[in-house]
């Protein structure tokens, strides 16, 4: 959005980078009639959203797999069994391919 608003001045300038930075602090953007923002605020909000999205994505990954946590699961539909990690609530049965809540079977 900031590049769109500043492109006419930046494209014709001798030093486009310094012109772009100067226009970020000088140009105003009217988001809602009567409510004006500077273009630099859009850059800051975009950077904050990008960084928070990366942090949330990094924290949502399971980085370490513990191989000792496996169990025998049974499908409630086809009654077939397989070994897998029992931590997940919903899984696809490898035999009938249905999304099921598998039942833990004692060894």
The reported pTM is 0.51
3-state SS, residue 92:
strand
Compute how many other C-beta atoms are within 10 angstroms of the C-beta atom of residue 8. 10
Using an 8 Å Cβ cutoff, are 17 and 3 in contact? no
In the chain, the largest separation of any two C-alpha atoms, in whole Å, equals 76
Q: What is the pLDDT of residues 75-94, one digit of tens each?
A: 999 999 998 877 778 889 99
Is residue 68 very low, low, confident or very high in pLDDT (cuts 50, 70, 90)? low
DSSP β-ladder status, 35-38 and 28-32 = antiparallel
């Amino acid at each position: 959005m900031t590049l769109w608003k500043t492109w006419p001045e930046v494209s014709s300038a001798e030093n486009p980078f310094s012109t772009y930075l100067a226009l970020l602090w000088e140009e105003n953007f009217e988001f809602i009639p009567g409510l004006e923002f500077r273009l630099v605020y859009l850059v800051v909000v975009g950077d904050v959203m990008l960084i928070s999205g990366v942090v949330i994505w990094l924290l949502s990954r399971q980085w370490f797999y513990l191989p000792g946590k496996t169990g025998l699961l049974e499908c409630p539909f086809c009654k077939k069994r397989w070994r897998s990690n029992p931590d997940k609530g919903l899984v696809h049965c490898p035999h009938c391919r249905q999304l099921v809540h598998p039942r833990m079977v004692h060894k």
